[in-house]
Structures are given as structure tokens and as C-alpha cells.
Chains A and B, each alone.
Chain A
Amino acid sequence: MAVAAMNYEGRVNVGRMERWMSMVAGGALAAYGLKRRQTPGGAAALAGAALLYRGATGHCDVYQALGINRAHGNGAREYGTGVIADRGSDTREQLGGRRGIHVEEAVTINKPLAELYRFWRNFENLPKFMNHLESVSTREEGISHWVAKGPARTRVEWDARIINEVQNKVIGWQSLEGSTISTAGSVNFDEDPHGTRVTVHLQYNPPGGKLGAAIARLFGEEPNQTIREDLRRFKQLMETGEIPTTAGQPSGRR
């Protein structure tokens, strides 16, 4: 059957039940869209078609970027350490769809892949090059506690779990339900002719209200720039052992 033929290895990352729901929702949306005809109908038809495709092929691009593979079992997730996460949380809800902010940045580092992976996997190293982070500590297997600097010397804290991990390939994480910040992200490590390419995908959905605005400022007006600078510092730290600075040098300024 056509559907089975599209199930080639490695492409399927959506669970079975989810695929059926995708197809049903997609089919309904597409039918509605085609009936309406005008521009909103067209948009609905396209969205429906995308969901249909996702259900039919079992492949979701967003999941792929996050390194999420839910093709095994009924929505249970596993990661390299062998611990199975609870089945309640849904990444797509956390991502917030249209309201979420998506960031993708990459850097190429002249160091062996395994060394970079090992450094990043120890999350306690992250504040060394991510300036907005104060500390990251491991609570229990797979769960980490993050503390970030907020504006006006406030702090923002949340817990995150590793939702996917493939040694020397990808680390995917997601904040736990009820976190102040809703965030999911992944860092990918790939060989490149010029060294190791490190690609970060980050998706976060700041909650509304005053706290949301403060958190948005925490990540800066330009989330891409923040991540790019973090990756630059990661590269500097790994290639040279230090981060270049002029803070503390003399000048003639009064």
C-alpha cells in the first residue's frame, strides 16, 4: 500500500496513533478548505494537506529538528540513558505553534566532534559561554535545573528533561510542564570539511503578561543574535581556551 511504501527507515518519527489523528485532522481541514475556496480556505487546505502528508508518511520536520522520534510505542519517549519519560507531556503544546519563537543558528568549530559533544552534554558547562545563564545543575537522571539572569537582577528558574539523545549526534531537551518558560531545543553535531558543525534549534513560548515581557527581554530583542553570540563564545572557548576580552584594559577616558 502507498502508505506502507512511504515508511522508509529513518524518516518515520511520528507515533502510530498520532499519525492517524494527523490524517483525520488533515483530511477534515483540507476538505473544509477546498469547500471555502477563498484565501483562508486555501490556507486551511494547505495546512490540511501538510497534516495529511505527516500522517501518511509518518515524518514530521519539527520533530526531526528536535531529534524527537515517537515512532516506537504509544507516545512513550526514550533517550540514550534508557529512561522512559512519562507519557503525559506533549512537545507540540509546549512549542506553542504560531505563538512560539523559533531560532536556528550554526557555527563551525575546528575541534573533534566527540570533544564538543562531551563538553556540551555536561550542561553545567553551558553558563561558561551562555551569558544569560547563571547555573545549570543535574537534579536526577535526565532532569536538569536551569537558573537564568532576568532583568533588574531577578532570576528565572525552570526544570528541563532530556527528551532525546544520540551520542555524538544530537541532544534534545524540553522544559517540564508548569515551567515559567516553555522551551524545547536541540543541538546537533555534524562533521564538516572545516571542522565540526554545531547547529542549535530553539523553540520557546514566553507566557503572556508582565513576566512574559520580562522573559522576552531576557532573551534579548533578537533571539537569533543571542544564540549566535553564545555559539561564538562556545567556539572561542573550545578553539582557544578563553573568550577574548578588553574589559579591564587601560584607556584615557575620565
Chain B
Amino acid sequence: MRAVCWEGRGDVRVENVPDPTLLNPRDAIVRITSTAICGSDVHLYDGFIPTMKAGDILGHEFMGVVEDVGRGVANLKKGDRVIVPFPIACGHCFFCTHDLYSCCDNSNPNAWMAEKFYGYTAAGLFGYSHMLGGYAGGQAEYARVPFADVGPFKVPDHLTDEHVLFLTDIYPTGFMAAENCNIQPGDTVAVWGCGPVGQFAIRSAFLLGAGRVIAIDTVPERLMMANEGGAETLDSMDPDVFSKLRNMTGGIGPDSCIDAVGLEAHGPHLDYVYDKIKTMTFMATDRISALRQAIHSCRKGGTVSVPGVYGGFLDKVPFGAAMNKGLTIKTGQTHVHKYLPRLLRYIETGAINPSFVVTHRVSLDEAPNMYRTFRDKKDGCVKVVMKPH
């Protein structure tokens, strides 16, 4: 089959590889009908995530039709149309049984590796480094899905792929980010980052009762998209974001702040230059302008919600501000499985049509070009969906 393979920093190629096979009793094989490139894939492309090996198949946002199931899977059969959550969850450990699916104990074959970095391992992910499982990803024609009796979620035929594909990652991610803000009716929520996750966070915040959402980014089409979702907008390259937020909120600051940017942040201040130099010289692992601004801007007693991906050790974090203002910081990889029934209901009732984020629809072979376009935010690119067949 054809698959998108990581071959080094800035080097992604579509290659011919063997088809996946069932390896464990609870596996299934899915023929992929649609697959997307995620903002966090860009961190892999730019070489920020350690433990990648040349030849690794990328992709963790995919859906399709079940082709084969192992003997341990009773609730799926050939022909079922499913979306596949990006974290792999066993369903039986302490964490899975407490709805903390992305913290699964049992799905990382390289658990010892993650433990060296993080103390304890989280769930294995599709196509996202060997430290996080080393699983072949879903930017391909087929994928092997472990624990297929827990992950794959059946979707109705009357909804097109683009309606439901983002249940795999970015829609639940934006939703969980908003939920983590503990929004009280009428609250003001500030969102850094108007990529797809930020877009879903904006709409989810309103759904959860926010009175105002202020979206912060610098790319015009992304700010326009945020506006269409009901948000007021600010330019992230404006050095005065803090003062503007303060004035917009009557001197208090937003009730909660969402960092939907993560480790490759850009910013107008000197701290961005500092981060850039340090990461380029490998003296730091993450660039964190958005997180710093979120902590600084948040009102006292508020919540900073971090769906943005970070990998290592953060330099110059204003934790003194966080502590003295009594902030709550909530973060994590998305517990996708927990949100699926509810979010599917929102889609079915028309409360949201997630396909609004899609700007580029291409065949799998366009992947190398698309990674560059998506990373550089060229051509009005917000979300790329690829069709393997």
C-alpha cells in the first residue's frame, strides 16, 4: 500500500509499504477513506519530537471501513464505517475505566521509554514517535487498529466523511479544552491559536455557555474563520495583547485562557527571540510565547487550559504569576473516547458542522507538498484532508 513516511526533518514521502496485518486478537484492519494532517504533525515534520525513525508512517486522524477483525473483537464486523480515536486505549486499566483514555496504562509497547521522560507512560498514539508507542499511523491506505473493541466508533452513513472525520482528534480536543475552562454562564474566554483546534475550542466555548470569546492569531483567514464562529479577534503580533484584553474585560482579564498553540509558538516580544535561539541551538525543547501570554493575561482565580502540545522542559515559564494569581492549569492529551457520543449528537442535530475547517482536499500523493503548505500557512490553508483511494 502507499503510506506517508517520515524520513527526517522537513522530509516526508509517500512510499510503497506492506499492507498491515492483524498482530493481536483485539486488532482490526481499517481501509482508510479519509485522513487529515494535524497541527501536531507539524512538530514531527519540524523535528521537535524525539524518538522518530526514518520510515515511520505518520497520521493519527483517520477513518474508514472495517476490513478484518481479530477473534477478540465482538462488536465490530467487516463493512462497519468507523472513526478511529487517535489515542489507543485498552478499556480495562484504572485510567480507561475512569474516562482518562489518553492515560491508558497498557497501550504503549515502549512504556519504558516514555517513563524515562515523563515518570509514567501515557497511552500509545497512532503515528507519533516511538516513545509514544511507535505505532504505524493512518496517512495511508490501510491501518491496523489495536484494541478495536474500545477505540473505533461507528458513524451513520448519512454524514459525509468531512462531517465526522474530526471526531478522531481536533473536535474533541477543542471541546475538552473549553470544558477544562470550567466556563460559568456569561464568562469571557480568550483563545490563543486559530488553527483547527482553536476553531473548535471557540465554538465549544459558546456551546458551554461563554458570553464572549476573544480569539488571538495573526493569519487573516484564520481570524475570519474565528469571527464566523462568533469570536472577537486580536492580532497575536500586536505587542499590546495584554492591555487590549484587560480593556475589553473592564480591567479584570479573561475568566479563562486557552492555549491552542503549543510548542512552536510565535510572538512579538523578545521572549520569542529567546525561545527561537534556544530551540535552534538545541538548548531548549519548546517555544512557549502563547503559554506565557495566557498565564499573564488570565484574571486572578481563573483557568488556563492547555490543549496545545508540549514535549519537554519549558524555559522561563511565569509560574510566579500563576501561583500568586491562584490560577488553575488544566491540560492533557484528549480523552477522545469519552466525548464521542455527545459530539456526534451535536453534529447530527446540526449544532455544528465540523467540515467548516477544511480548506484543502487532495490525494494522498500530495502529502509532501501539503505538509509544507500547512506548516507555512500558505494558500489560506487551515486543514488538509487526504483521500488514499
Give Cα distance in the complex from A251 to B53, angstroms.
10
Does B136 contact A110, Cβ atoms closer than 8 Å?
no
Among candidates B3, B26, B91, B135, residue contacting A252 with C-beta atoms closer than 8 Å: B3
Of all chain B residues, the one with the shortest Cβ separation from A247 is B23
Does A248 contact B90, Cβ atoms closer than 8 Å?
no
Q: Given that A250-B57, A251-B57, A252-B56 are known contacts, is A242 also in contact with B94, CB under 8 Å in the complex?
A: no
Does A242 contact B135, Cβ atoms closer than 8 Å?
no
Taking the closest CB of chain A, its distance from the CB of B109, in whole angstroms, is: 5
Size category of the binding interface on chain B: 35 or more
In the bound complex, residues from chain B placing their C-beta under 8 Å from that of A236 are 90, 105-106
Among candidates A195, A235, A244, A253, residue contacting B108 with C-beta atoms closer than 8 Å: A244
- Secondary structure class of chain A's binding surface, majority of residues: loop
Q: Given that A110-B97, A235-B105, A241-B25 are known contacts, is A253 also in contact with B54, CB under 8 Å in the complex?
A: yes
Which residues of B, 42-72, contact A by the 8 Å Cβ criterion? 53-57, 72
Among candidates A194, A242, A251, residue contacting B24 with C-beta atoms closer than 8 Å: A242
**A interface residues, how many (CB within 8 angstroms):** 26
- Secondary structure class of chain B's binding surface, majority of residues: loop
Does B24 contact A253, Cβ atoms closer than 8 Å?
no
Of all chain A residues, the one with the shortest Cβ separation from B88 is A244
Does A110 contact B92, Cβ atoms closer than 8 Å?
yes
Asked if A232 CB lies within 8 Å of chain B CBs, one says yes
Of all chain A residues, the one with the shortest Cβ separation from B72 is A241
Asked if A157 CB lies within 8 Å of chain B CBs, one says no
Asked if A177 CB lies within 8 Å of chain B CBs, one says no
Does A110 contact B134, Cβ atoms closer than 8 Å?
no
Asked if B15 CB lies within 8 Å of chain A CBs, one says yes
Does B94 contact A110, Cβ atoms closer than 8 Å?
yes
Does A248 contact B23, Cβ atoms closer than 8 Å?
yes
Give Cα distance in the complex from A195 to B53, angstroms.
37
Task: List chain B positions with a Cβ less than 8 A from chain A.
Answer: 1, 3, 5, 7, 13, 15, 17-21, 23-26, 53-57, 72, 90-94, 97, 105-109, 111-112, 124, 133-136, 140, 144, 146-147
4 nearest CB pairs, A to B: A252-B5, A253-B55, A252-B55, A252-B15
